[in-house]
Each structure stands twice: as structure tokens, then as C-alpha cells.
Chain A
Amino acid sequence: MFGLKADWSLDIKQRYFTLGDYIGGEPRWCPGCGDHAVLTTVQRICRDKQLPPEKTVTVSGIGCSSRMPHYVGTYGFHGIHGRALPVACGIKSRRPELDIWVATGDGDCYSIGAGHWLHAVRYNMNMTVLVFDNSIYGLTKKQTSPTTPIGFKSNTHPKGAILAPLNPLTATLGISNVSFLAQTIDWNPAHLYETIKAAHDHRGFSLVNIIQRCPVFSPEAFKHLQEDPSNLLLLTHEKGIPVEKNISRLFPNQQEHDPSNMSEAYDVALPKLPKPVGLLYHNPDVPCYEDFSSVGKDMGVEEKLAGLNTALDQFAI
């Protein structure tokens, strides 16, 4: 009938996820906050990669950034301050098929959760870790964070921050098993998208430090970067973050940097200015901890009972 062949078939995707599938509650961030840009970028990447929302988990700690799980339509875990990474690693440990996103901040990750940051890099479990680095504590209203510039006046240091800021890039590069480290800026959507997408593509622990504006508590911390792009250094390379010409010309300072070159990555990361934007370091060959931790996850009950009996045999009298 109608001249159709018997083997007629059409490849129809069983489910197609729209942006709406990745939208949760309405964001309650301040107008002008850089977090909005990160959120929509993540949602677009989820849509573009068609990640099943039920197989995706967004994990966070506490802070402005950590509200993110509430705003995405995946499974979410909004835990306690500084502890997003142990939870995320635990989820991954026996369910390596799940797609894990972590939203954390400069206080959550680099201060209260600093121990977990170091060790999560070492575990190198496959997850995309977005550090919303606004150089200030926002949720608790303007306290000095580890990345707050020296001299910056906050509620805990009204005369100006005493200590030089922590450099999360050089610190991360110093941790064994580091496998993916990038930095981007919230006000360049194209670069933000490509960076986070590359991070998600990488199998391993991808850490993206996102320089993210807080228009309420630390607007002046980023002014010099936004107003004078020569304070930024665009990293370019065929193995780096792809950059279109129209984006590239926004950056007067550029450097060809091979992301497999660790010592060059360190040189790029070290100076206070210009701040590098792009992929600092990438090693796709670092083993992932879940390859060890998930061994045996599908063992059947019969085999487990046999294993238990062997163990009991050792104590038999």
C-alpha cells in the first residue's frame, strides 16, 4: 500500500530532551550575577549532549553557587558546606555510569573543603567540577575568601584583606593525578560553553575555575578584567579550548599553549596578571578511581554467597 517497502524504517530517537528537561526551579540569584550564565551554559550542554536527566546528578555544597542543583532538572544533592566532592565521589564510586556535575565556590572548595579538593583531584573520578570563583563569600554576605585580593575590604577584614590570595591554578597543578584544569570567565558565553563542554568531554576529574562576577559584594574585584581585556591571556592550541575568530579578537593577549606541557602550564598560571583563560593542563591518560572502586558492582547473589562462605571457612574450627 502507498508503495512503501517492507523494510521501511525511520530512526526515531525514543526520547529527545529539550532545554526544558534540564530546568528546575527558578534561580534566586541576584540580577547580574555570573551564576546565571554558568547555569544556562550547563543546561545547553546537557541538551546538546542529550544527557538523560535521570542518569545525571548535580552535586553541591553550600554557598551561592551551590544552589545550582535546585535549578536543574536532573537528580540533585545539595549537601553541606565544603563537602560536595566526597559526596560526588561516593555517588560515582559504585555507579560509574552516572554523569556527575559539581557546583562549588571559592569558599566551599578552596577553603572549608580544601582537603577534599586536593584528594578529589588525586582520585581523578570522572566528573565535571565547576568552581564559581567570585573572590568573596556571597551567601553569608561579604567575608574574605581564599581568592579575595590582598587589601580588599570585607566584613571580616574592614581594613583590607591581610593575606595574598590563594592561586587555585598553581595549587591544582601541584597535585598528583591532575588531569584537566581550565579557567574561563562568565562574561564570555562562547568561551564559557566551549570550556565546560571540553571539561565534560574529558574522562577524569575536570576542574574549571570560573571567574564569576558578584555584582553585589565584589564588583570591583573583576572590573579591571572586564574593562581592560589585556589583563587576560587567551590560551590557544589545537588541543585546547576551540575559539572562533570573533571571540579570539576580544583578547589582545594570546599565547599558544600546549595543554600537555605541565611546566608551561605552571608558568602561565603563576602571574597575578594577566589571568589565563583557556585549557591549562590536560592529561587524558590518568587512571580513574572508579575503575578500581566499582570492581564487582554487578556480582550476583550466588557468587556473593559463595564468597561469604569462603570467608567464613577461614574461621572454621
Chain B
Amino acid sequence: MTKETSQPVKNNDATSKTPKRIDEHIVEIVSDSGEGAQKAGQTFGTISAKMGNGVWTVEIIPAEIQPPTRSPAGASGIRVRLGSHYMTNMGDAADIVVALNEQVLYSRIATHAYKPGTVILLENKWETDPNPEIREQYKTAVAEFRENGLVVHEVPMEEECLKHTPKPRLGKNMFVLGMLCHIYSRDLEKGNNEIEATFGRKGKKVVEINQNLLQAGYDFAQGNLDYWYEIPPWKRDSTDPLIVNNGNQAVGLGVMASGMDLVSMYPITPATSASHYLAEVYDKVGGFVHQAEDEIAAVGFAIGSSYAGKTACTITSGPGLALKTEFLALAVMTEIPLVVVVVQRGGPSTGLPTKVEQGDLLASLYGEPGDTPKIVIAAATIEECFHFVIMARKLAETFRTTVILLTDANLATGVQPYPRPKAKAEWMAAPIDQSDWKKGVPPFDWDEETGLSPRPIVGQAGGQYVLTGLAHTNNSKVAYDRESNQRGCNMRSRKLATLYSTLKPPKIHGDQEGDLLMVGWGSTLGAIEEAVDKMRAEGHKVSSLHLRFLSPLEPGLKEIFSRFKKVLTVEINYSDEADAPLIESGNRRYSQLAVLLRTQTLVDVDCWGNVYGQPMQPGLICEELFRHLNAMKGEN
């Protein structure tokens, strides 16, 4: 069925009788936007998870709204990493790629997504396109890809699809899914069920066409491609049920589970999809998504609700965080519980809205006018995106302050199975107290030891007080004397010391001492630990630790650092390279976590990171570790 002009498709490595057993693979589907690549990949991920594989999927999002077709800027699609173990990150180079045109592959090649040997299953209809320019582009690209070591197979996807539908552009993704289902020995019935679930609403005929295309892709791969693999299921310790979703959906579920019944937001990528999800389901728990007129109003609205006893949440990204800063300072100063979820991305404006960065750490800690001690925590996994929202509300109310929960674009769009949370009543906010306020107790009845105080809720008779952003006494009265503000600041800062005293030192991944300790936070967990495992397997004395609490920091860091010859932060953040021109110890700009750790521990913490706008990859970390270990050997 493949054209004579195509490369031979049979792969000599594999036998056609039994599938080759492999531990893991990275698969990509890349196309113009609107061709359903993401849908196909998500479904492939779901089928794989249902068959017991560890899965991590990440979307490939075009940089423009309507990029021209067949352009590198328009690359849209998905990466699915699946294997016989728990998957925590997107990995390095892809193993098999399905591409619906050759141009979109250029942008993937530019991001080093492929390696020599990566198999490309490429739609070949462009070879006979009526436009000679396109035919030429296609030929050139295929030759170029092969020259660079990619194994290109030209597949007549359009031609095959036309046998089943007059509009192949709409159904080709299911053909692709069918091919992948055969290549990875997926249960086709599960594919049919997913199609039924997705297209059921559109009627029987649509379901049938898509199922036919799925079957056609499956049959085509069976008859024409010798890539045939088996990835045994991930052997879990537990049989607890799993759920699978992305980090923003996990945040939304966490909001519901926390008992917070108001989310106040303004649209901003990549945070918005959390609110989209909530807008769909929040009424099941009696909640409401308020779309405010701007970022400032969004946080002001949440603060109003929290002030009235209904602790609320606002979900945003870096530029939104910047706009909210005055209100955040007010919330901290007036001790209003508030949860702010910041889904980090790169830069201001439309900067790198769909790309990942961890650039809001210091802004979260120090971005407000005046002294603003608040709690800052960061989720490292999709599961933590869920549980940390619940923790955030509890912390906010217990410590009567603002809690910023940091996630990022990688977690927001990454999809991973995790144990289904067992919903608990104690996660939910208690009904608000409307009993009479105890006579004589001031609105800020600070405990000198902890800085904590009970909070009068509107409706409590006798508790009337005026919350004010002006310096105030413990009676919330405007104060002009020098001691009152000093005392208020003391008390608010003491709350963080109180929280610190309840935290455990972080766990170390790997040996408790050694040559090099990597310190990370947020979505880089999976990549960092995978790199550590690889390095340790090769005999290197490398360990890592991952921080969840950034303000206050987790205890014991200085002592832990002292057990390693070198401490290195790994972040998706900018830092000057130590040996860059003009850079010396006095002017080197460290990445954000390194700045924080150096300040708090006085240890000479080094840093490494990048701002490629991509999730952290284990291979890149290993390369960097070798560089440091070799340099250390040289020093010895």
C-alpha cells in the first residue's frame, strides 16, 4: 500500500510475529492546529493509562492564534511519554513521531525534541500536491531530515482516510490514533469506547466514521509497519483506583475539595483553563466562578469574600500577580485569609504565555510594597496541585494570611495518572461562625509567642471593627505612634516563624551525603530525580532535594548542604553563567531559588537553569552534572 517511491517501511529490527518488549517510549503527534493531534494524543494517553502504563503527556502549543498552515510556527500537537514505570516528566528525545506535514517538524527539531534514529511517520500527500512549491518543500525537508539521521517513513494517511470519509482533515487524527494503537499493542476496544464517549453526543454516524478510521489506522499499521511494541503495565504497590488529569484540572478539583466556594479570576494563559474547568463543575459543590473586570478587581473581589468569612481563591499567572500586588500587601497587613494560585509562565505582556518558567518565585516572596510576610508553597506534581490547594486554604485560615501556591505551565498542561483522592469532610471549610464575639477581645488579639489571633467575621455581634490598610493597633485603630506599626509587623512576621517551627526537614533523594546536591522546586521534580537516578546508576555521588515550602523555607537546609561538596539549584529560570564575559562573584545574577538559599543559609549555592520556555529535561540536567563533576575533579 505504501508508494513505491517511499522508503521501505519494514523495520528489520522487529519481527512481525510478536511485539518487541520495551520499557518506555516517547511519542509525538505534530500537525497544524485544528487537525486534532491533541485529541488523538490525549486519547492515546488515556488508553495507555487505562492499560496500566505510567503516562505523562504535554501539549505542544502553537505560538500564534491562527498561524499559516504548514509553518514551523504553527506546530501544534502533543507528546506522550509512556512506560512500565511511574512517569514524572516529558523526558528527552522522542522515539516515534507522527507528523501531518513536514514543515511543523522544523520547530520540533529546533527545540532538540528528536535524535538520530527517531522514527517519523510522515503524511506523504504533499509529495503529489498540485502546488509545485509545496512538492519541492516536502522533498527538500524529507531529504534534510534523513541526512540528519531521522528515520522518515512516508505514509499515505490522506489516501487511506479518503476510503472512509470525504473530509479526511477532520478524521485523520483517529487514523493516527489507530496506527499508534497497533504500534503499541493497545486494546482497540478501549479506543472505540473513547470515541463513543467523545463523539456520542454528535450521533451514531459520527461515531461510526471515527471508529472506522481508528480501525483503518490500526489495520494499516498492522499490514505495513513493522514497528510493533509491547509496554508492560507499571507495577504499582497499591491497587487503589487512579484518576488522570492535568495540573489545572487538579487545582480546580482541589478548590472544590477545600470547601472554598468562590474563585475570582481574570483570563490569563496558562492559568485560565483551571477556571474553565471550575466553571463547568463548580456548581456541584455550590461554588461560583467570578470573572472580574481585571486582575486587580479579581483579587479585590476574593479579598472581600474572604473578609466576610468565605475564604476565596484567585487564580492567575505572573503578569496578573504583578497587578495584584497592592491588594496582596493589604490582605497580609490586615490578616485576611486568601489563596492565590499562580500558574507560572515566562515574562510579561504576551511574552511567552504558553511557555513554562519559574520566574515568579521572588515576586511571590517580595513583590509587594512594604513588608509582606506571606506563605509561599509550590506543587511539584499534578497530585500535589490537588492536595496543596486544600493545604493552602487551611494555612490561610490558621495563619490568617495570604498563601501563594505556585504551579507552572508544565504542570498546568501535563497529564499524569495519580491515586484518586478520597474526599474527606475535614478538607472542607467549616461553616462561618456567627455567634456573638467575646466581649473585650480585640480584632487582632495577637498571641505574643505565635502572632496568631482569632478573626471576627462580619455578622458576629460585638465584633465590629474597621479593617484598615493604615498602621493599626491590635484594636484595628489607626495608629500614628512609632511602636504600633513595629508591633504589627512583628506579629505578622512571627506567624511565619511559627509555621517554620512545625515543618520537617526535606527528604533527600539519593544518598544523604556526597559530591553534589541539586536543589529544585516545582515542576522540575520528575526530571531532577530521573537525572539523579541515572547518575547514581553510573556510580556518581549525586543527590537532590525538592522544596515545597518557599516561605517559610523548610528547616535544616544549612546542615544538609554541609554534607555535600557542592550545592546546585536547578530551575527553569535565568542566571548568568559563572564564566560569562564580565561576570565575577560580585555581579553574577543568580537564579531565583539560589538567591533565596544563599541569603538564608549563607552557603555558596551555585545555580543552573535555562529559559528555553520548555519543561526541564533529565538529559540536559545530566549533561550539566557531568560538567560540574568534571570541574570538581579538576579542582581536586
Interface residues of A in 36-94 (CB under 8 A from B): 52-55, 57-59, 62, 69-70, 73-80, 83, 85-94
Which B residues lie within 8 Å of A119 (CB)?
292-293, 297
A86 touches B423 (CB 8 A): no
Which A residues lie within 8 Å of B261 (CB)?
94, 296-297, 299
Contacts A57-B458, A311-B256; A79 near B285 (Cβ below 8 A)? no
Q: Tell me, yes or no, whether B460 is within 8 Å of chain A by CB.
A: yes
Which B residues lie within 8 Å of A310 (CB)?
284
Q: Tell me, yes or no, whether B477 is within 8 Å of chain A by CB.
A: yes
Q: Tell me, yes or no, whether B549 is within 8 Å of chain A by CB.
A: no
Which A residues lie within 8 Å of B241 (CB)?
316-317
Which A residues lie within 8 Å of B40 (CB)?
none
Known: A295-B283, A297-B310, A316-B420. 12 other contacts (CB 8 A): A54-B460, A54-B462, A79-B330, A86-B298, A90-B264, A91-B458, A93-B262, A94-B305, A297-B261, A299-B285, A307-B285, A312-B423
Q: Tell me, yes or no, whether A116 is within 8 Å of chain B by CB.
A: yes
Which A residues lie within 8 Å of B304 (CB)?
59, 77, 86-93
* The 10 nearest A-B residue pairs measured at CB: A90-B304, A296-B286, A86-B300, A307-B284, A299-B286, A76-B466, A90-B301, A119-B293, A315-B243, A87-B304
Q: Tell me, yes or no, whether B578 is within 8 Å of chain A by CB.
A: no
Which B residues lie within 8 Å of A6 (CB)?
none
- Docked complex Cα distance between A228 and B262 (Å): 51
Binds A, one of B67-75, B223-231, B467-475: B467-475
Contacts A83-B327, A304-B428, A308-B253; A95 near B308 (Cβ below 8 A)? yes
Minimal Cβ-Cβ distance residue in B for A28: B478
- Docked complex Cα distance between A55 and B72 (Å): 60
- Docked complex Cα distance between A189 and B456 (Å): 35
Q: Tell me, yes or no, whether B209 is within 8 Å of chain A by CB.
A: no
Q: Tell me, yes or no, whether A301 is within 8 Å of chain B by CB.
A: yes
- Docked complex Cα distance between A74 and B458 (Å): 9
Minimal Cβ-Cβ distance residue in B for A92: B304
A294 touches B462 (CB 8 A): no
Q: Tell me, yes or no, whether A293 is within 8 Å of chain B by CB.
A: yes
A315 touches B285 (CB 8 A): no
Minimal Cβ-Cβ distance residue in B for A55: B459
Chain A nearest CB: distance from B4 CB in Å? Answer: 43
Q: Tell me, yes or no, whether A292 is within 8 Å of chain B by CB.
A: yes
Chain A nearest CB: distance from B277 CB in Å? Answer: 9
Chain A proximity mask over B297-324: 1 for CB below 8 Å, otherwise 0: 1111111111111101000000000000
6 A–B pairs (Cβ distance < 8 Å), ordered by A: A55-B459, A77-B467, A79-B467, A119-B293, A296-B287, A308-B284
Chain A contact residues, CB within 8 Å of chain B: 24-25, 52-55, 57-59, 62, 69-70, 73-80, 83, 85-95, 98, 115-116, 118-119, 292-299, 301, 303-305, 307-312, 314-317
B293 touches A115 (CB 8 A): yes
Contacts A57-B458, A312-B243; A296 near B285 (Cβ below 8 A)? yes
Q: Tell me, yes or no, whether B363 is within 8 Å of chain A by CB.
A: no
User: Which listed residue, B326, B467, B470, touches A76 by the CB 8 Å rule?
Assistant: B467
Chain A proximity mask over B257-272: 1 for CB below 8 Å, otherwise 0: 1010110100000000
- Docked complex Cα distance between A59 and B249 (Å): 35
User: Which listed residue, B242, B286, B307, B425, touches A317 by the CB 8 Å rule?
Assistant: B242
A94 touches B466 (CB 8 A): no
Which B residues lie within 8 Å of A315 (CB)?
243-245, 249, 253, 420
User: Which listed residue, A79, A92, A94, A116, touches B293 by the CB 8 Å rule?
Assistant: A116
A317 touches B244 (CB 8 A): yes
Which A residues lie within 8 Å of B46 (CB)?
317
Minimal Cβ-Cβ distance residue in A for B297: A86
Q: Tell me, yes or no, whether B461 is within 8 Å of chain A by CB.
A: yes
User: Which listed residue, B288, B307, B467, touches A296 by the CB 8 Å rule?
Assistant: B288
Q: Tell me, yes or no, whether B448 is within 8 Å of chain A by CB.
A: no
Contacts A70-B468, A79-B469, A304-B259; A54 near B301 (Cβ below 8 A)? no
User: Which listed residue, B256, B264, B293, B308, touches A57 by the CB 8 Å rule?
Assistant: B308
- Docked complex Cα distance between A214 and B302 (Å): 34
B256 touches A307 (CB 8 A): yes
Which A residues lie within 8 Å of B467 (CB)?
76-79
Minimal Cβ-Cβ distance residue in B for A15: B461
Interface residues of B in 320-345 (CB under 8 A from A): 326-327, 330
Interface residues of B in 104-119 (CB under 8 A from A): none
- Docked complex Cα distance between A83 and B417 (Å): 42
B462 touches A95 (CB 8 A): no
Which A residues lie within 8 Å of B286 (CB)?
295-299, 303-304, 307
- Docked complex Cα distance between A94 and B312 (Å): 10
- Docked complex Cα distance between A125 and B416 (Å): 41
- Docked complex Cα distance between A52 and B461 (Å): 9
Contacts A316-B420, A317-B49; A91 near B308 (Cβ below 8 A)? yes
Chain A nearest CB: distance from B191 CB in Å? Answer: 14
Indicate the member of A24, A69, A86 with the most B CB atoms within 10 Å: A86
Chain B nearest CB: distance from A164 CB in Å? Answer: 26
A301 touches B284 (CB 8 A): no
Contacts A90-B264, A94-B288, A317-B242; A80 near B469 (Cβ below 8 A)? yes
Which A residues lie within 8 Å of B292 (CB)?
86, 119
Indicate the member of B245, B466, B470 with the most A CB atoms within 10 Å: B466
A54 touches B469 (CB 8 A): no
B262 touches A317 (CB 8 A): no
B423 touches A83 (CB 8 A): no
Chain B nearest CB: distance from A203 CB in Å? Answer: 19
- Docked complex Cα distance between A53 and B459 (Å): 8
Which A residues lie within 8 Å of B49 (CB)?
317
Chain A proximity mask over B419-459: 1 for CB below 8 Å, otherwise 0: 01101110010000000000000000000000000000011
Which A residues lie within 8 Å of B420 (CB)?
312, 315-316
Which A residues lie within 8 Å of B253 (CB)?
308, 311-312, 315
Which A residues lie within 8 Å of B279 (CB)?
none
Which B residues lie within 8 Å of A77 (CB)?
304, 307, 466-467
